[in-house]
Structure 1
């Protein structure tokens, strides 16, 4: 028998406690970039019972994504935002998913991100990362920003950590391994960093703001 949303929510309450699950269910989190970081982080957040996930990506699913991102062969060619929304809907039908096939820019971010409580920066380009982080910190000082830097190559996953940079800004990763220098990305190490991001989001929602 397929469980109802009420059944699944009840299971989350039983696991997390009613008070914490209420906080998770009322949270709105934006995941900006749906590659190895964003697709994995979004899955973790959906499974945790975050109430609303806002997904942002302008790319389509490519065969080169399949080795580390949460997509399937039958989704090749689909917009990442729509494909991931479909997958998350199967994982967590109790979660509201809004898929935005759009490129975030300084001209549209104020409108698109205004309703979220926490922003996950999951881009793969340094200039895009800096643009999003700087915009949110300057224009939405009360929002929490969880960014990532350094998860490429074969170095130990134990080097990946979460650091608190300012009151509302956190950085996950080892802080130095770049794919251009390391030469490759592996699903396992990228997923560790994505899990750090998702875990920090959950801690913030719970009221635990220390890394």
Structure 2
């Protein structure tokens, strides 16, 4: 039996406190890219009681995603936006979710992300990362951007960290390790970076702005 919305909210209040949970519930967070980083970021935020998630990706679930992303084998071929929405609703049935199955561009970013308080960059393509970062920081003043760089390989998880780059820009990862023929992506290390991103979102909403 699925708990009522009131019961689930009460349980979150007991864990986080009434005032903090109220801040989480009233927040809107965008997750741009729904792969190994984005799918885990979305789950962490939904479980924390974030009120509204904007999920953005133009890709479909592939068998190669299953080693590190929050999808199921029977979802192969589905749009990632709809597959992740379905999975999130199983864990957090009352989170409001808006999906955009499209590629973000310099032109559409301001419109699509306007309602988000905080924007999470979770792309694996350097060009997409650059376009989102440049557009948000230069054209969407006042928005918080939480990005990632460096989470590939089997290096120590202890070097993954969160750095505050500017007043509204945070960067998570080790800043070094990139995907190559010799260095792949492993679920546990990618999840560590995603957890850093989700955690700084919660800290920002709580009024804690240091990294």
Provide TM-score, normalisation by structure 1. 0.98
| 2: CA distance, partners of 1:142 / 1:181 | 39
Alignment partners' CA distance in 1, 2:69 and 2:185: 11
Deviation of residue 94 (structure 1)?
A: 2.0
**What's the CA shift for 1:2?**
2.6
Matched with 2:98 is 98
Change (3 A) 1:40 1:172: same
Is structure 2 residue 65 aligned with structure 1 residue 65? Answer: yes
Matches within 5 A, 1:39-50: 39-50=39-50
The 1-side partners of 2:208 and 2:15 are apart by 18
CA RMSD of aligned residues (A): 0.8
Please say which of residues 113-122 and 178-187 is displaced more in the overlay. Answer: 178-187
Q: Contact 1:9–1:94 (CA<8 Å) still a contact in 2? A: no
Q: Which residue of 1 aligns with 2:185?
A: 185
Show the 5 A alignment for 1:58-137. Answer: 58-137=58-137
What is the DSSP-based 3-state SS (H/G/I as helix, E as strand, rest coil) of the residue aligned with 1:53? strand
Moved more, 2-11 or 118-127: 2-11
Partner residue of 1:161?
Answer: 161
The residue that corresponds to 1:140 in the other structure is 140
What is the alpha-carbon distance in structure 2 between the residues aligned to residue 62 and residue 6 of structure 1? 36
Superposed CA deviations along residues 45-74 of structure 1, whole A, max 9, x for unmatched, are 000000000000000000000000000011
Cα distance, 1:181 vs structure 2: 6.2
Count of aligned pairs between the two proteins = 211
Aligned to 2:35: 35
Q: Confirm or deny: 8 A CA contact 1:33 1:56 kept in the other structure.
A: yes
- Alpha-carbon displacement from aligned partner over 1:86-116 (angstroms, at most 9, x marks no partner): 1111111121011111110111111101110
Post-superposition shift, 1:185? Answer: 0.6
Structure 1 range deviating more: 105-114 or 192-201: 105-114
SS at match of 2:50: coil
TM-score, structure 2 length as denominator? 0.98
Structure 1 unmatched ranges of 5 or more: none
Per-residue Cα deviation, 1:118-164 (whole angstroms, up to 9, x for no partner): 00000001111011011000111201000000000010000100000
Moved over 6 A (4+): none
Per-residue deviation, 1:182? 4.7
